[in-house]
Chain A
Amino acid sequence: MVSRQVLERRETVEKISTSAIEVRDLRQSYGDFEAVKGISFQVREGELFALLGTNGAGKTTTIEILEGFRAPTAGSVSVLGLDPYTKRAQVRPHTGLMLQEGGFFTDLTVAETVRFWRDVSPRKPYSLSEILGRVELEEKAGVQVRQLSGGQKRRLDLALATLAQPKVLFLDEPTTGMDPEARRNTWTLIQELVAAGTTVLLTTHYLEEAERLADRLAIMHNGRIELAGTISEVVAQRGNRIRFKVPEHLPVDRLPRLEGVAPTVEVRKTEAHAEYRLGADPASTQQSLARLISWASENSFVLERLEVRSASLEDVFLEVAHAA
């Protein structure tokens, strides 16, 4: 009874809290090729939503429709309640975007580039040096954009995307090509923006990035969303794992079944590793582990490299990418 009330309450809250981004049954075709095959999701105000997927999954197509570069073939999208393609002029002043690459006037210096985009921006909350300082490019102010490294260009791009304090920020693979330190600093900056209320839609190949930043995420594959939710939701659906090195001279088919599941065996060099993919319930995982250990003791096997863990985002991602 109580839980039901809680559930209903949660549904109402979700309905009330406004969506900054809404995608409904979105489809996009290029000629005969359907890049996005009917996806739906919402990003609430102040939330960071990550779109994960392999190359060609449809992430960039999706984000570019939301950025208003093209109209969807079918379905509908809205950003801040408006169609980003037909209501460009109303939506643009409130969005910032980082393209996957390029788009710079390469003959200009870093400072000239920032100055230009700041001049045409509807709001100018930061000075030139603040804008450069946030992405640690002050020392590059006088350098021509063509001379920047890939990672520095990504940082300049992020500076341009955020200089007008947008309500909604689109980041298409924002940290590609950055060194680990720059990536960490970029994450901090993105976290600050989200903390200040910015809604962010981010695409990335880096699972660590999504794990670190995303409130919710969706994993895309072949134009469809295969999984969506918070990281713990997404990962929980995939259950727990028990893994160990198969004792030598033990035929693989003599390994016990746990929760009715046979292990998958992977051979690395000369070693065989067994992995059980179990359900998400911790109690039954614990029972399975107890069964496994007593089985091993009874048969006088020693289980080397024994590990028990919940599925990681990487496991989930790889499963989705290799399924289909």
Chain B
Amino acid sequence: MLLNHTLRLARLDLTMLTRNRMAFFTTIAFPLLLGCIALLLRGGFVSGVSTGLYTLTGMLALIGFFVTFMHLTTLFTVRREDLVLKRMRGSVLSEAAIFSGSGLACTLIYVLQSAVIITLGIVALGGHLPRNIPLVFLGVVLGSVMFVPMAAALSGFTKTGESAQITVLPAMLILAATSQASFPLAAMPEMVQRVAAALPLSPVVDVIRIGYFGLDFTQGAPHPAVDFAGSWVASAPRLLLIVAWTVVGVLIARKHFRWEPRNA
């Protein structure tokens, strides 16, 4: 039942992505655009790898923010205000199915986007397949899953679909700047680096880079090379951090997620 409902809801969400311009832009067009920015960076090296691929792998993590977090914050808010969430909750659909359905649709899109961007990297930047494909896949999926409860939580503080862009903005600026998705923080004071590394998007960036390059990005540059098994070991603490943030997201969402509009 849960699985059937989740799959059916995911299919519904995918149908609706093509009907809504804003949703299409957030989940399809804009992430692709971000991926293409990396293609413009052909020369030079950052942190021991080519600038283009460094940015490309960073964007692989950052687009999850848009595809899952930003999109779902808007979607949950709009559906709450339209009383769709209320209707869903009054139906046979369980709360778990409602969240996993929408989460699954976003995650599918995110995985596809990642495959496209990695392919673009191979074609245009002389990139390669990830050294550890399952690890990159896991990083993408866990990153997406983490953003589902976070989006639910933030939607609790968001009044309308339009204002979602405003409530999402601070998180976007902080996470984009601290995650090393587009530039390294090696020159920053130790304390700043530690705090930045603990924020939610940073472990996603690290896991994807470790998996893609086969280099341990949790160590300072030049990052030591790791083999297939070593890349799992190097990623383990970062994967746990993603899971921890997911739990935090669930706790905040439990307290602040709203099924009905405030003034209903």
The contact of B84 among A67, A88, A105, by CB within 8 Å, is A105
Cross-chain contact A104 with B12 (CB below 8 angstroms): no
Q: Are A89 and B94 in contact (CB under 8 A)?
A: yes
CA A108 to CA B87, docked complex, whole Å? 15
Judging by beta carbons under 8 Å apart, are A116 and B84 in contact? no
Interface string of A88-108 (1 = CB under 8 A from B): 110011000101011111111
Would you call A112 an interface residue if the criterion is a C-beta within 8 Å of the partner chain's C-beta atoms? yes
B91 touching A92 by the CB < 8 A rule?
Answer: yes
Establish whether residues B83 and A120, one from each chain, have CB atoms under 8 Å apart when the complex forms: no
Contacts A107-B16, A107-B19 known; A69 to B86 CB distance under 8 Å? yes
Structural contact, A122 and B87, CB atoms closer than 8 A? no
Asked whether any CB of chain B lies closer than 8 Å to the CB of A117, the reply is yes
- Asked whether any CB of chain B lies closer than 8 Å to the CB of A68, the reply is yes
Cβ of B227 within 8 Å of any chain A Cβ, yes or no, is no
Task: Check B20 against A107 for contact (C-beta < 8 Å).
Answer: yes
Query: How many angstroms from the CA of A67 to the CA of B15 in the assembled complex?
Result: 29
- Contact check: which of A101, A104, A120 meets B8 at CB < 8 Å? A120
A102 to B260, CA, bound (A): 12
Q: A93 — nearest CB in chain B belongs to which residue?
A: B92
Q: Give the complex CA separation of A103 and B261 in angstroms.
A: 12
User: Whole-angstrom distance between the alpha carbons of A106 and B87 in the complex?
Assistant: 13
Q: Is A29 an interface residue (CB 8 A)?
A: no
Among A68, A97, A104, A122, the residue within 8 A (CB) of B82 is: A104
Identify which of A67, A68, A103 contacts B83 (C-beta below 8 A). A103
CB-CB nearest in chain A for B9: A120
Contact of B87 among A93, A103, A112 (CB under 8 A): A103
Q: Within 8 Å CB of A121, what residues of B?
A: 92
The residue among A68, A92, A93 with the most chain B CB atoms within 10 A of its own CB is: A92
Contact residues in B for A112 (Cβ distance below 8 Å): 15
Residue of A nearest to B19 (CB): A107
A102 touches B82 (CB 8 A): yes
Asked whether B91 lies within 8 Å of A117 as measured between CB atoms, the reply is yes
Q: Which residues does chain A contribute within 8 Å of B14, judged by CB atoms?
A: none
Interface members, chain B 69-94 (any A CB < 8 Å): 82-84, 86-87, 89-94
Choose one: B5, B19, B84; the contact of A103 (CB below 8 Å).
B84
Q: Is the CB of A99 within 8 A of B15?
A: no
Asked if residues A103 and B86 are in contact (CB atoms below 8 Å), the reply is yes
> For the complex, what is the distance from the CA of A88 to the CA of B88, rounded to whole Å?
12
* Closest Cβ neighbor of A144 among chain B residues: B19
Complex formed: what's the CA distance from A105 to B94 in Å? 18
Which partner residue on chain A sits nearest B101 by CB separation? Answer: A120
B4 within 8 A of A: yes
- Given A103-B82, A107-B19, A112-B15, CB of A120 within 8 Å of CB of B87: no
Q: How far is the CA of A105 from the CA of B102 in the complex (A)?
A: 14
Shortest beta-carbon distance from B179 to chain A in Å: 33
Complex Cα distance, B8 from A108, in Å, reads 14
Rounded to whole angstroms, the CA-CA distance of A119 and B10 in the bound complex is: 13
Instruction: Contact check, A68 vs B90: say whether CB atoms are below 8 A apart.
Output: yes
A101 to B20, CA, bound (A): 22
Among B8, B86, B90, residue most surrounded by chain A Cβ atoms (within 10 Å) = B90
B87 close to A116 (CB less than 8 A):
no
CA distance A143 to B119 in the complex (A): 40
- For chain A, residues 59 to 103, give those with C-beta under 8 angstroms from any C-beta of chain B: 67-69, 88-89, 92-93, 97, 99, 101-103
Partner of B92, one of A92, A101, A107, A108: A92
Q: Which of B56-80 contact A (CB under 8 A)?
A: none
- Chain A residues with CB under 8 Å of B260's CB are 69
Chain A residue contacts of B83, Cβ below 8 A: 99, 101-103
Cβ–Cβ < 8 Å partners of A68 in chain B: 90
CB–CB A108/B5 < 8 A = no
How far apart are the CA atoms of A112 and B86 in the complex, in Å?
Answer: 19
Could you tell me the distance between the alpha carbons of A164 and B90 in the complex, rounded to whole angstroms?
A: 14
> Interface code A110-126, partner B: CB below 8 Å = 1, 0 otherwise?
00100011011110000
A106 to B19, CA, bound (A): 10
Contacts of B91 in A (CB 8 A): 92, 117, 120
Given A69-B90, A97-B90, CB of A120 within 8 Å of CB of B5: yes
| CB under 8 Å from chain B, chain A span 142-175 | 164
B12/A105 in contact, CB under 8 A: yes
B90 to A108, Cβ gap below 8 A?
A: no
Q: Chain A residues with Cβ under 8 A from B94's Cβ?
A: 88-89
Q: Bits for B143-168, please: 1 = Cβ < 8 Å to A, else 0.
A: 00000000000000000000000000
B residues at A contact (CB < 8 Å) = 1, 4-5, 8-9, 12, 15-16, 19-20, 82-84, 86-87, 89-94, 259-260
Q: A92-B90, A105-B16, A107-B20 are in contact. List 10 more A-B contacts (CB 8 A).
A: A99-B90, A103-B86, A104-B84, A106-B82, A108-B12, A108-B16, A117-B91, A120-B93, A122-B1, A164-B92
Among all A-B residue pairs, the 3 with the closest Cβ atoms: A103-B87, A102-B83, A107-B19
19 contacts between A and B (CB under 8 A): A67-B90, A69-B86, A69-B89, A69-B90, A69-B259, A88-B94, A89-B94, A92-B91, A101-B83, A102-B82, A103-B84, A103-B87, A104-B87, A105-B12, A105-B84, A108-B15, A108-B16, A112-B15, A119-B8
